[in-house]
Chain A
Amino acid sequence: MSDGEDSCTAATEGSTSPPGTPDMSLPVAMDTSTDVAPTRRARRRAESQPEIEETPKQQQQQQQQQEEKGEEPGQASSQSSQSSVAHTGWGYWGSWGKSILSTATATVATVGQGLTQVMEKAETSLGIPSPTELSAQLEEEHRQDVVMDGSNEADTADDLSAVGGAMGMLSSLSSVVQSTGKTVISGGLDALEFIGKKTMDVIAEGDPGFKKTKGLMSRNATLSQVLREAKEREQLQTTESDASEKKTVAHYGVMFDDFQGLSHLEALEILSRESEAKVRSVLTTLSGDELLQLRDELDFIKDSFALVEFDDEDVDEKKDEDGSEFEKEFMEAVEGLSVSATAHKLMTACRSACTNVSITNQRKEEEESERTTHSVEEVHAAAIRSLAELTARSIELFHKVAETTLFSGGCTEASVLSQLTVLLCKELSLLSKRFTSCLTAAGANEKADVLNPLITGVFLEASNSASYIQDAFLLLLPILQISHIKRNAEASQQ
């Protein structure tokens, strides 16, 4: 809207890395992965017989890991706290998600550019431990316990305490670990935490004005336009790759459109723009005290559009597995909005997403006996599809709220909408966590350069989904404002 923002955006674009970087950094990722996979297999085979020679190398790895996380090596307390972070998890990732969410103003386009680069950086040049690498390390740690239980007294006191610290955590888990492959999962989560932290750092570096970047409504290009263009580009690429007999990966944009998310967004934008123009024209007809009073009232509505802080850390992966809790809270929130049909559609989407998660999980457990496991691509596709559907339904819901508010002239509370936004974003975050867990489990035998992009892809689409929902929420502001003006006018006539 103002010149200041434009220059800020320009600065962001200017400070991103040169376009050559991604290509150059790709081989690095490949190297790490080819390194990791064979070693891991070798370690697997060695499981029955403890290998003492390998221990120093493991410790080195551990130390490296600790150094990467910026902690003092060899301290029992820090080791155990680190492990607990790894297992209860999501510390870093959580705060990343939160920052994105509380900065609802982050624009899709500018942040997007920053993040593409971030992802490349995070995955390659920053030397992030890959999920497989990490899970291998966790297994190592576990095996080390076994070694320690034996008669390996030769270790230094430092190592003893370091391993001992981890042991408490791991031994309590060990029974579960072997039966459900939880080691692998938490390994994947470590990598994601790492990405989250690095992502946040790089965003902050690359865009000092990040938090001041203004939202969707102040930009010239509308959100649905940007999405549509992106979708078209995707389709072009899909088509091209099809012509050259290449494999395709699930496309969020295409699916989002299939669920009519783009259309609802466009319609919502139309209504929002019209209402905004109406509000402006009403303001020009007023003067003096009347104008001041209306301005105050409109500002009050605007203030209530500030998002409630969303604490990602209390999103517990294990909680609410069938989505019934979300269902209850959601139905309470939409009760007064008279959009029951759309709310029902959203509920169905949510339930099918939960079913998808449990199906993929189930297959994973059967894996041992039958070879009917889902491929990582299938799990990824299910994840992207669920995210796209839930997001499309959320935007449909906001579109319907806009329509009912406009025609009924009823009083829609901004606080209810804001609560709804937070609820939906939480659910998306929860879903993405569950799906990436499935993905990590399904891809236990995949190379890191196959699995990592899929996992980060799911998380990024989830964070995008949250941005779309928040943008849609912000589009409702002018609609509530014009509805307020209409109600005032009707009241004064009576």
Chain B
Amino acid sequence: MFPFCFTYANTCRKQTDAHTHTHRARSRVMEAIWLYQFRLIVIGDSTVGKSCLIRRFTEGRFAQVSDPTVGVDFFSRLVEIEPGKRIKLQIWDTAGQERFRSITRAYYRNSVGGLLLFDITNRRSFQNVHDWLEEARSHVQPHSIVFLLVGHKCDLEPQRQVSRQEAEKLAGAYGMRYVETSARDAINVEHAFTELTRDIFALVRSGDITIQEGWEGVKSGFVPNVVHSSEEVTKSDRRCLC
């Protein structure tokens, strides 16, 4: 069932195996190793800064000007949640504009987690949080999704329209964590993604979230023998098989 290109590439490698091994190739390979891949979706009203937050996280820079997202865009990055334990995050950046809603709905299903953004300087975007949550929850069925509520643009303190207390209260009511971030000043960006990843990882470890055939939310990665001794890897592999 596999395209020949890959099988063929392997043949190539076998034939060149005898030749010297370069260090560069090795380090590149090392980077590609992860325990799991989590798919995250980022939602929220348009112009709250979803794409900017993701770009800050994946590319380490802040774009002063950016075009509105059409449909969905993709980003990925590795996160080290504990020394030697890497998780690959595949991030689906959805369009916030209402006119894309019918398309973006289709993309929810295969996500294990999500960041729900609102703009702390835009009260309206905060009021819509409830609708976003409903929308997401109804479209990820039968799977569940772990959300993190993000109050974005916290560098704009003077224009704040949503207090931290009320945001925390809302997050608590829906069983979410709350984090305030700024893509421009790089505040809490790393923290937001890592926290969410840790939460999901804990759920995967405890067996509350399982890897399922035909669901892309959580994927098991490949681990070299040296790291393979870690318990949760072998445990989850076994679970995956049955």
Cross-chain pair count, CB within 8 angstroms:
157
Pick the contact of B103 from A229, A242, A406, A457 — CB < 8 Å?
A: A406
Q: In chain A, what residue has the closest Cβ to B73?
A: A260
Q: In chain A, what residue has the closest Cβ to B10?
A: A237
Q: In chain B, what residue has the closest Cβ to A381?
A: B25
Pick the contact of A226 from B1, B20, B30, B223 — CB < 8 Å?
A: B1
Residues B71 and A457 in contact, CB atoms below 8 Å apart: no
Residues A233 and B2 in contact, CB atoms below 8 Å apart: yes
Of listed A108, A247, A258, A450, residue having the most chain B CB within 10 A: A247
Q: In chain B, what residue has the closest Cβ to A468?
A: B3
**A-contacting residues, B1-15, CB 8 Å:** 1-13, 15
Q: In chain A, what residue has the closest Cβ to B27?
A: A242
Is B83 close to A, CB under 8 A?
Answer: no
List, in ascending order, chain B residues with CB within 8 A of A234's CB.
Answer: 6, 9-10
**B-contacting residues, A439-464, CB 8 Å:** 449-450, 453-454, 456-457, 460-461, 464
Q: In chain B, what residue has the closest Cβ to A237?
A: B10
User: A397-421 interface mask toward B, CB cutoff 8 Å, 1 = contact, 0 = none?
Assistant: 0011001101100000000000000
List, in ascending order, chain B residues with CB within 8 A of A240's CB.
Answer: 224
Residues A241 and B13 in contact, CB atoms below 8 Å apart: yes
List, in ascending order, chain B residues with CB within 8 A of A377's CB.
Answer: 16
Binding stretch for chain B, among A41-49, A67-75, A263-271, A362-370: A263-271
Q: In chain B, what residue has the closest Cβ to A453?
A: B12
Is A238 close to B, CB under 8 A?
Answer: yes
List, in ascending order, chain B residues with CB within 8 A of A341's CB.
Answer: 67, 70
Is B65 close to A, CB under 8 A?
Answer: no
Residues B32 and A270 in contact, CB atoms below 8 Å apart: no
Interface range on chain B (Cβ under 8 Å from partner): 35 or more
Q: In chain B, what residue has the closest Cβ to A116?
A: B4
Binding site secondary structure of chain A: helix
Is A104 close to B, CB under 8 A?
Answer: no
Minimum Cβ distance to chain A for residue B143 (Å):
15
Is A109 close to B, CB under 8 A?
Answer: yes
Is B133 close to A, CB under 8 A?
Answer: no
Residues A403 and B71 in contact, CB atoms below 8 Å apart: yes
Of listed A109, A238, A454, residue having the most chain B CB within 10 A: A238
Pick the contact of A454 from B12, B33, B102, B225 — CB < 8 Å?
A: B12
Residues A235 and B25 in contact, CB atoms below 8 Å apart: no
User: B25-65 interface mask toward A, CB cutoff 8 Å, 1 = contact, 0 = none?
Assistant: 11011101100000000000000000000000000000000
List, in ascending order, chain B residues with CB within 8 A of A274's CB.
Answer: 106
Q: In chain A, what residue has the closest Cβ to B17?
A: A246
Instruction: Give Cα A247 to B29, complex, Å.
Output: 10
List, in ascending order, chain B residues with CB within 8 A of A238's CB.
Answer: 29, 32
List chain B positions with a Cβ less than 8 A from chain A.
Answer: 1-13, 15-17, 19-22, 25-26, 28-30, 32-33, 67, 70-72, 74-76, 90, 92, 99-100, 102-103, 106-107, 110, 216, 219, 221-226
List chain A positions with a Cβ less than 8 A from chain B.
Answer: 22, 108-109, 111-116, 119-120, 221, 226-227, 229-243, 245-249, 251-254, 258, 260, 263-264, 266-267, 270-271, 274, 339, 341, 377, 399-400, 403-404, 406-407, 449-450, 453-454, 456-457, 460-461, 464
Task: Please name 12 pairs of A and B residues whose Cβ atoms are closer than 8 Å in the assembled complex, sorted by A.
Answer: A112-B4, A115-B4, A116-B7, A226-B1, A232-B219, A246-B13, A247-B20, A248-B29, A253-B5, A403-B71, A453-B8, A464-B4
